[in-house]
Structure 1
Amino acid sequence: MYRILIADDEPMIRKGLQKLVEQSGLPFASIRTADNGVTALQQIREERPDFVLTDIRMPKMDGLELCRTVAELDEDIQLVVISGFGDFEYAQKCVSYGVKEYLLKPVNKKKFQETLEKLIRLKTRQQSETFVPVTKLEVWVEQLDEAIWELREADLADQLHRMKQELDSYRLKTGRLNDVLAELHALLGKRLNTRDVFAFHAELALSGTADDSESWLRFNASIASLYEGLRAKRRGKPKDAVEEAKQYIEHHLAEEVSLEEVAEHIGLNASYFSQLFKQSTGETFVQYRTRRRMEKAKKLLQQPQYRITDISGEVGYADHPHFTKTFKKYTGYLPSEYRQKMGIE
């Protein structure tokens, strides 16, 4: 999808050109208009267009000056001059600024359509010459996603550095680099949000960047924002969520720890944590907690100095009959029978 900006000080011409673009059937994501060169330049800096169609004679800043400034700002923006016959020689100067086409007023509909198609062909060729494979983007996004999700700060910095080195080898112009970074950022945000745990809303504004260095600074700042936001939500706890949950359960077997409490401790919502835990362990939270309690009870029962009632409390059962019933269900023996089996009277 392409973005186009139409600059002309005559309202009827602006509306007419906009309508021709809309009727072209070509993939334009946005069509903006400006009534003078100064306004047009401001809009270009706010959101980089792919194509600019400009009149020659406009107040505040004429089309020639606009073309010159745009060429210096971003030579990947394709320029088309639309003006009256009397300005033809004047408009010829725009060729040195990379103007792709010159159209006379009144604009011929067929010629206008052909011009738009030409611009898109040129843009497609331009992009193919600096093509970064989608598979490469997907690999980078996966690496960034894992480093952020697992709060591996050093790995994240290393991956960003290596990614920059690889992208530098493509020798992308700033405009194209911005397109790639914007796509990477969007894919990363989408991937992080598919986890359905936290909502990620980091912003990335690349319009108006002066050069590649500024683009990378903004991109890295946004990635850092994603990382810091997640770390704050997790209270700085690096995560293998299930392993951390297991450790927490193990240290609190004597207490009636709930799924919600463990989920809050590791920074996940309870519903997602429940699904993740079952998927990873093959057991529900309650099944796992009960099994670990019974395993600990077996070890304690093998030590004669502990009374059975004390063991009951040590593994989280204030209700001794409940412990006895659960232990028999799990092992097939009453606690006393299990001790006798171990040769402990």
Structure 2
Amino acid sequence: MKTILIVDDEPRTREGVRKTLEAWSSGQYRIETAASGVEALAWLQNNEVNLLITDVRMPEIGGLELVEKLNEMPHPPVVIVISGHPEFDYAQKALQFGVVEYLLKPLDKTKLVRAVELALKRKDDIYRIERMEKLIDPKLMETVQQEKVYSTQVREALQYLDEHLHESISMRDIADQLHMNASYFSVLFKEQTGLTYSEYVTRRRVQRAKELLVSTRLSIAEIAEQVGYQTAKYFVKVFRALENVSPGQYRQNVMTTEERIQ
């Protein structure tokens, strides 16, 4: 269950925000409160939060100081700042810290809920980006970034490979498909992508396997077949050589991370 933490030293505001969000969430979110920045930091030592709603002016640790400390965390929450004063300097600094919204007291319930929905969507977007970064092979990413300088033959080869990754495709098969000499195609492919044909195919198959491992419940054998390996045993060997873990361990690690972040 995703968690929202409300931090405000004014009991009336703190409880008002809590009640509004509890009514809005209908039990879908865990709503927690803290009466100060110090209390919030103590709570965060043993808990994770997706969205932080904090007042700017509080004793000891103010809202922006709290946000600055949270930005040092591996997975900081998204933040909504609330204030009783329309101070430009506070608002400007809040934006520099990546705060999603700056709301003025007295809070409008509709604007508060809208800001919370926007913030949680932003958190989901950040999570998806982080997850994709873990999936993407950096060497394959380099080939994508360089695609604009590829020759027509290499672009066609990459597209054909993507569409037939589940098949056993030799370099000669691709060269024949493109009506090219296999030796010339080999040199051209390495020159433009920075990878040999064999290296590219292996990395692309493992990349596809990683996507299937986190997005489906297919068995390791089924995934091996879908990415072009005739035996699960050989697929596991290739996967481990590139990722330093087995496909099963990779799936478990990503799922565990997903539960922790969410």
User: Normalising by the residue count of structure 2, what TM-score does the alignment of the two structures yield?
Assistant: 0.52
One-letter identity of the residue aligned with 1:136: L
CA pair 140-162 structure 1, distance change in 2 beyond 3 A: farther
Q: What are the residue-to-residue correspondences of 1:146-161 with 2, within 5 Å?
A: 161=244
Query: Structure 1 residues 139 and 86 mapped into 2: Cα distance closer, same or farther (>3 Å)?
Result: closer
Cα deviation, residue 163, structure 1? 5.5
User: Does the Cα contact within 8 Å between 1:64 and 1:91 map onto a contact in 2?
Assistant: no
- What are the within-5 Å matches in structure 2 for residues 266-281 of structure 1? none
Structure 1: runs of 5+ lacking an equivalent: 144-154, 168-176, 185-205, 208-345
Deviations 1:14-57 (A, max 9, x none): 11000111121377431111111111112222111000000011
Shift of 1:73: 1.7
CA RMSD of aligned residues (A): 3.8
Q: How many residues align?
A: 165
State yes or no: 1:49 paired with 2:11: no
The amino acid that maps onto 1:127 is: Y
Match of 1:162 in 2: 245
Partner in structure 1 of residue 256 of structure 2: 181
Amino acid corresponding to residue 3 of structure 1 in structure 2? T
Moved over 6 A (4+): 138-143
- Helix, strand or coil for the counterpart of 2:57? coil
- 8 Å contact kept, 1:4–1:28: no
Which structure has the higher relative contact order (CA within 8 Å, separation 6+)? 2
Give matches, 1:1-345, under 5 Å: 1-25=1-25, 28-74=28-74, 76-129=76-129, 130-131=131-132, 135-137=212-214, 161-162=244-245, 180-182=255-257
Where does the alignment leave 5 or more consecutive residues of structure 2 unmatched? 136-209, 221-236
SS in 2 for 1:32: strand
**Per-residue deviation, residues 265-298 of structure 1 (Å, max 9, x unmatched):** xxxxxxxxxxxxxxxxxxxxxxxxxxxxxxxxxx
Cα 1:181/1:56, change in 2 over 3 Å: same
Change (3 A) 1:88 1:40: farther
| 1:38 and 1:60 in contact (8 A); partners too | yes
**% identity of equivalent residues:** 32
Q: How much has 1:63 moved relative to structure 2? A: 0.6
Q: With structure 1 as the length reference, what TM-score do the two structures score?
A: 0.41
> 1:179 offset after TM fit, Å?
7.8
Determine which structure has more spread, i.e. the larger CA radius of gyration. 1
Change (3 A) 1:178 1:87: farther
Q: Would the alpha carbon gap of residues 162 and 117 (structure 1) be closer, same or farther in structure 2, given more than 3 Å must change? A: same
